[in-house]
Chain A
Amino acid sequence: MDLATFLIQCLNSLQYGLLLFLVASGLTLIFGIMGVINLAHGSFYMIGAYMAYALAPVVGSTFGGGFFATLFVGLVLAVIFGYLLEWVFFSFLYEREHLQQVLMTYGLILVFEELRSLLVGDDVHGVQPPDFLAGTIPLGEMMTYPVYRLFISGVCLALALGMWFVFARTRLGMMIRAGSTNREMVQSLGIDIKFLYRVVFAAGVAVAVLAGMVAAPVSSVYPGMGNQVLIICFVVVVIGGIGSIRGALLAALLIGVVDTFGKVIFPQAAGVLVYVLMALILLWKPSGLFKAG
């Protein structure tokens, strides 16, 4: 492997890892703060990707188009969707056992997948990146790297920073952190915990949808894409330590590297490497790299 290939693989790992982080961060938030095991989280990613495919022409005809306009409309829809979903389906689940939540969110996966099939069909679709991001930059003498992939990494990094800022530096973040430690205490201090949960849930959904929208031009849009990302995101969440954003970032980057280089170096065993990594890490540290706190 020469230097240019190595560099490209590094950039690919970074991009994949950051994208995983984006989806997994919503999962770890909902998991860590609200204690809900949300199997339907992968579906939000899928919904985002299909939005990127289906919304672009609609937004194009009403607002005069534009890539960022589509992203914005998608994001607004996602927040509304997440808010309503929490209200209707999740708000009565917090006191139930974890496994009841698993059952409910499994039902939601089936419903979302089938609604997708009814509304958009079962075909695989490609999504074009916007013109101004469609180019490539040269790397070395022979290789080039698509600008759009760099753009994905940039968006993910910006969001990661934004999330860190909200959590560590704002009043809202403080309330959320307090709410995850002791729900009753926060409630008795006069903070509307139900509303807070709804906001966190909506934010988690929005981030996953955004990840799907941004990823659509690279991954293309296909049935079952949500389930594929779901399992790998659970791996990220668990390796990082449940509820830990920092852990999720580190774990996502680690998995990005292992998966990308695994596919190049051991193409035969690429699929299994991630799971071997997870098993080894959990046998070494039985509650993930960073314990939530």
Chain B
Amino acid sequence: MMADTHSRSRFAFVALCLAALAVYPLAAGSYGLDLVTKIMVYAIFALSLELLVGATGLVCFGHAAFFGIGAYAAVLLAPGYEPVSLGWLLPASVGAAALYALFMGALSLRTQGVYFIMVTLAFAQMAYYVVHDTPLGGGTDGIYLDAKPVLAAGGNTLIDLDQPLAIYFFTLACLAAVFIFLAVLLRSRFGRALAGIKANEQRMRATGFSTYPYKLAAFVISGAIAGLAGFLFGVKDGYVNPELLSWHLSGAVLIMIILGGLGHLRGALIGAFAFALLQEFFKSEAIFGDFAKHWHLGLGLAIIASVALLPNGLVGLPALWRQRLLGKPVTGRGAPSAGDTP
């Protein structure tokens, strides 16, 4: 019964987080609203990578490619000054990212381990140089989205993503939907197969699973969700540039999920918030004054401290505290199964 209360308290934690995000706009100014929208977009992005890294054991170092393609598609497919319908722009952008993920996954899944990390980097860099060096997407200057998409039905505008509040709640809804989708997915037969691939791919193959289609499917789903995050980012800012596809962003999102704790969906959520809020904290001139421009130093030291003190990421923190206070041993250390989510 222990496991039941655990999974219930985890569910309560995530539900509480989403509820807090839902009432947050009541207290927030425009800066805070924009910041949290951005963090939620990163959280979706981090969740997509968690599906590959945490659940399947495939470390992708080119995830920014899908994010960037989603963002670029949102801008390139909506030229002109007339608002485009969200109803087809969103699926089209996500589809574009998924298509590149299919291409990249089909080829790079032939390799393994560190080689896989580097091949995914290579394919992401190719996409980066395409938008960086060709006039297709405005080159290094990037391009602007002139009219943000709307969802209209019967002459009434239901969602107008030009409004900060609308994009906030739309992003929140996407975050909740992605989280629930992934939680259900990981509990399905498909998710169990991914957990098996992570634990021992040889054995999965020996028991008759053809692992390649499973890995490819996970890769495409992950790419599509990253594309969704990119779409939201492009629409939120109304501007895209090649940096959205750079390896720095691929690295940052990887850092987010490791910081949060691998093998848990809520780790991605916590990691995205922790990473972005730590950044904000060390950048804050109110606290650090002139030293705030050296915010990398504080962030770097915080990350090093987290590696030294939290072997299982931030997710492992409650278990660590329980152990300290009650003297109980930490259970379920190491790589947890997919059933451990959310």
Which partner residue on chain A sits nearest B129 by CB separation?
A272
**B294 CB to nearest A CB, Å:** 5
- Whether A89 contacts B304 by the Cβ 8 Å rule is yes
Please tell me if the beta carbons of A102 and B122 are within 8 angstroms of each other in the complex. no
Residues of A within 8 A of B248 (CB): 227
Tell yes or no: A118 within 8 A of B by CB.
yes
Name the contact of B300 in the complex, choosing from A111, A234, A272 (C-beta under 8 A): A111
Indicate if A55 sits at the interface (CB-CB under 8 A).
Answer: no
The answer, yes or no, to whether B84 is at the interface (CB within 8 Å) is no
Chain A min CB distance to B242 (Å): 11
A150 is an interface residue with CB less than 8 A from chain B: no
When the two chains form their complex, are residues B114 and A107 in contact, meaning their CB atoms are under 8 A apart?
A: no
Q: Which of A104, A111, A115, A275 contacts B126 (CB 8 A)?
A: A275
Contact, CB under 8 Å: B297 / A238 = no
Neighbouring A residues of B306 by C-beta, 8 Å: 103
Residues of A within 8 A of B297 (CB): 110-111, 114-115, 118
The 8 A CB mask of B279-310 against A (1 = contact, 0 = none) is 00000000000000010110111111011100
Tell me if B132 and A235 are in contact (CB < 8 A): no
A117 at the interface (CB under 8 A from B): yes
A96 close to chain B: CB less than 8 A: yes
* Contact A282/B311 with A89-B304, A114-B300 known, Cβ cut-off 8 Å: no
Q: Which of B119-142 contact A (CB under 8 A)?
A: 119, 121-123, 125-126, 129-130, 132-134
A202 to B239 alpha-carbon distance, docked (Å): 45
Asked if A199 CB lies within 8 Å of chain B CBs, one says no
In contact, A104 and B304 (Cβ under 8 angstroms): yes
Interface residue? A279 (CB, 8 A): yes
The docked-state distance in angstroms from the alpha carbon of A279 to that of B133 is: 19
User: Judging by beta carbons under 8 Å apart, are A110 and B300 in contact?
Assistant: yes
The A contact surface, by secondary structure, is: helix
A272 touches B133 (CB 8 A): yes
Q: Which of A103, A104, A271 contacts B132 (CB 8 A)?
A: A271
Contacts of A288 in B (CB 8 A): 115
Q: State which residues 295-342 of B face A: CB under 8 Å.
A: 296-297, 299-304, 306-308, 311
Given A103-B303, A108-B304, verify A278-B122 contact (CB < 8 Å).
yes
Interface size on B, residues (CB 8 A): 41
Partner of A234, one of B118, B132, B296, B302: B118
Q: Would A99 and B262 be within 8 Å (CB), given that A110-B300, A238-B114, A268-B133 are in contact?
A: yes
With an 8 A cutoff between CB atoms, is B166 at the interface? no
Q: CA separation between A276 and B111, bound complex, in Å?
A: 15
Within 8 A of A (CB), among B76-129: 107, 110-112, 114-115, 118-119, 121-123, 125-126, 129
A282 surroundings in chain B (CB, below 8 A): 111, 115, 118-119, 122
Question: Min CB distance, B110 to chain A, in Å?
Answer: 6
Given A113-B296, A272-B129, A100-B307 contact (CB < 8 Å): yes
User: Is B151 part of the contact surface with A, judged by Cβ < 8 Å?
Assistant: no
Chain B residues 30-81 with CB under 8 Å of chain A are 53, 59
What is the bound-complex CA distance between A146 and B252, given in angstroms? Answer: 40
Q: Which chain B residues lie closer than 8 Å to A278 at the CB level? A: 118-119, 122
- The contact sample of 9 A-B pairs, CB cut-off 8 A, is A102-B255, A104-B303, A107-B303, A113-B296, A238-B115, A271-B132, A278-B122, A279-B119, A286-B115
> Which 3 A-B pairs have CB atoms at the shortest separation, nearest pair first?
A110-B300, A107-B303, A114-B297
